[in-house]
Chains A and B, each alone.
Chain A
Amino acid sequence: DTEVTQTPKHLVMGMTNKKSLKCEQHMGHRAMYWYKQKAKKPPELMFVYSYEKLSINESVPSRFSPECPNSSLLNLHLHALQPEDSALYLCASSQDGGNTIYFGEGSWLTVV
């Protein structure tokens, strides 16, 4: 079982809504990630946080806003999304000195 916990598992939102995806890990990992995965495609990196600082933003539209309140938590704030943003959003983490990225179960997002 994954030790990266994501909530909610499923989210349906309208294009004018504001919602958030949450991610938590208690493995002491200091890097956390958001990936987006469309059906039958590999995950695509969105953001990387390292030691609670945003280190990589892969040119993600501003309607996605990440936040890292502390070393265990990672949020993804969603506002004014488009139907094409519907996807599986995966959170992941890794530890300093380790090379493996561990994924959560994902949040299935549907924008209507």
Chain B
Amino acid sequence: AQSVSQHNHHVILSEAASLELGCNYSYGGTVNLFWYVQYPGQHLQLLLKYFSGDPLVKGIKGFEAEFIKSKFSFNLRKPSVQWSDTAEYFCAVNAAYSGAGSYQLTFGKGTKLSVIP
């Protein structure tokens, strides 16, 4: 079974600081990787995803993530954070195909990002 580890429970940054959130997964086969964001009191939104191809993927709101297969990592980055980026960030891996169009998505425990104006 796959698993996802997010190393940072809570990250506090000042505005304009650079961001990197760590994510490592455990699975020996082909994986699909995702970062979701959840703003306070809101639903999960997809930030970006990696299926194949260029390991550097760009998402919405200036976020990007790099898939490093040898390190089983998919870290999220943003060069300059804003106060509005304050949210919970979840890394997820989708590796097991349950059959007939359904997928088993495994989430990490999440990283809370607090950006100080």
Q: How far is the CB of B38 from chain A (nearest CB, A)?
A: 9
| Chain A residues near B49 (CB-CB < 8 A) | 99-100
Judge if A64 is at the interface, Cβ distance under 8 Å: no
Known contacts: A90-B43, A103-B43. The answer to whether A41 contacts B100 by CB under 8 A is no
Q: Number of A-B pairs whose CB atoms are under 8 Å?
A: 74
Q: How far is the CB of A79 from chain B (nearest CB, A)?
A: 25
Identify A105's interface contact among B42, B98, B109, CB under 8 A: B42
Number of interface residues of A (CB under 8 A): 29
Q: How far is the CB of B16 from chain A (nearest CB, A)?
A: 27
Q: How far is the CB of A42 from chain B (nearest CB, A)?
A: 4
Number of interface residues of B (CB under 8 A): 26
Besides the contacts A100-B34, A102-B46, A106-B43, what 14 more A-B pairs have beta carbons closer than 8 Å?
A: A40-B88, A43-B90, A45-B105, A50-B100, A51-B101, A55-B99, A56-B98, A90-B44, A94-B101, A95-B101, A97-B101, A100-B32, A100-B49, A105-B42
| Chain A interface residues (CB < 8 Å from chain B) | 2, 29-31, 33, 40-43, 45, 48-51, 55-56, 90, 94-97, 99-106
| Chain B interface residues (CB < 8 Å from chain A) | 32, 34, 36, 42-46, 49, 51, 88, 90, 94, 98-105, 107-110, 112
- The 22 listed contacts between A and B (C-beta, < 8 Å) are A31-B98, A31-B100, A31-B102, A40-B110, A42-B90, A42-B107, A42-B110, A45-B105, A48-B98, A48-B102, A50-B98, A51-B100, A55-B99, A55-B102, A56-B104, A94-B101, A95-B101, A99-B32, A99-B49, A100-B34, A101-B103, A102-B46
